[in-house]
Amino acid sequence: MKEISCKLLVIGAGPGGYVCAIRAGQLGVDTVIVETGKPGGTCLNVGCIPSKALIHAAEEFEKVAHMAGGDSPLGISVAAPALDLARTVAWKDGIVSRLNSGVAGLLKKAGVKTVHGWATFRDGKTVEVETETGMQVIRAEMIVIATGSAPVELPFLPFGGPVISSTDALALGEVPKRLVVVGGGYIGLELGMAFAKMGARVTVVEALPRVLAQYDAELTRPVVKRLSALGIEVMTGAKAKGLSTKGDALLVETSDGKNAKVAADKILVTVGRKPVTESWGLEQIDLDKAGKFIRIDDQCRTSMRGIFAIGDVTGEPMLAHRAMAQGEMVAEIVAGHKRGWDKRSIPAVCFTDPELVTAGLSPEEAKTRGEIKIGVFPFAANGRAMTRLGEDGFVRVVARADNHLVLGIQAVGQGVSELSAAFGLALEMGARLEDIAGTIHSHPTQGEGFQEAALKALGHALHV
């Protein structure tokens, strides 16, 4: 049995874990990171990156299909396209592989030692890792738990056969003819819309009264309109009950209480994610919990001295960039720096069609804090959006009425994910409406919608 000692041990090499380890290494902290799979975690391997690759491929295929149908307003006509999903998946896997190698190289460059295997706690300072070459014991002064999350499995729809998780959906060799998506949140709609564009007949089953319930109805209206245009059937107020006897349909209780069968070749279950807290030996240490998640303070410290936790294992919002920010902060704290984490703005992006971006407070949340001003600018009045056939959507700015401090920014539209950095920066810098309105924005760009929304809130929009 081999034993090594270090100042910092990071368990999990997802976005939070590997960023924490790299930054700690840069600061001269003797660091070890343990990962059972490939570096990058869910986000890089079976989440953010591969899903966006698949979404992009679907968008490109749909564009060509419209051109082949002779209804392209651009005047472009082509022969009917064909999709080789296996080749698409291979391209996606190539991107993931390159990024895996990149993360591994960055860890090595920072002087971080990587141990491949499954870590189990012995106590608050020691873990044992079962590796291919035998048991490795690691003793550390400080430990960071960054074990991430996993798809929630429904007891009456266990994964296997026709029932698949988001991970399985990203590795399909062919487009299913009939796809039923259980769960109308962002993961389900992102993948459901992608497969609809690739030719699948898609049905979404959502138990709540509407899809994307975490966003306000005004923001999601363009997405709901697009779902209909893609031919996706949306069953709201409906509950999945299980798999049919033959395994070729989903049993559903509809909103009016009736039983129905929805034919399916594949059933994609996307009802949320759960923290990965089992099989790590956490019962050997005494960590306070917040429900299923590990409880942390504003510096990601757990209830045990010397143990931190970051990322999805600590709760919502389960976002890679949140985990990265936490990881960087913890590394600097371990290195002796005075650090805090200002989380007033953690932008969230939903890569549906059109895309959604939220940062800061929604109008409803802001109203609870006092009188507000709201400015909305529609992309139907934006020249760049017109030239991209992306007129559906808008940018919305929410600010205090008294001093015009911006409290929240939301957008829905084609490619608005790229505006999230500007939204986050504005909130972090404490921008006021006058700051945004007085900043010269490039023309013609969709970013002008941000400036125009601020101008609208001030009462003197120029282009609407």
Per-residue model confidence as pLDDT tens digits over 165-205: 999 999 999 999 999 999 999 999 999 999 999 999 999 99
* Cα Dmax for the chain: 72
Residue 282, pLDDT above cutoff 90 = no
Mean pLDDT, rounded, for 38-55: 95
Residue 1, pLDDT above cutoff 80 = no
Residue 383, pLDDT above cutoff 90 = yes
Cα 47 from Cα 397, distance rounded (Å): 30
Mean pLDDT, rounded, for 30-54: 96
Give rounded-to-5 percent helix, strand, coil for the chain. 35, 30, 40
Mean pLDDT, rounded, for 415-430: 97
Which one of the listed residues 56, 116, 441, 443 is annotated catalytic? 443
Is 337 a residue of the active site? no
- Tokens coding 352: 């549906």
Mean pLDDT, rounded, for 275-292: 92
Cα 10 from Cα 383, distance rounded (Å): 48
Q: Measure CA 165 to chain center.
A: 15
Cβ atoms 155, 223 nearer than 8 A: no
Residue 70, pLDDT above cutoff 90 = no
Nearest CA to 61 out of 83, 77, 79, 76 is that of 83
Q: Is 77 exposed, middle or buried (0-12, 13-18, 19+ CB in 10 A)?
A: exposed
Amino acid at 20: C
Residues 6+ positions from 255 with CB-CB distance below 8 Å: 235, 236, 237, 238
Q: Tell me, what DSSP letter sits at residue 258?
A: -
| pTM as predicted | 0.95
Cα 158 from Cα 53, distance rounded (Å): 27
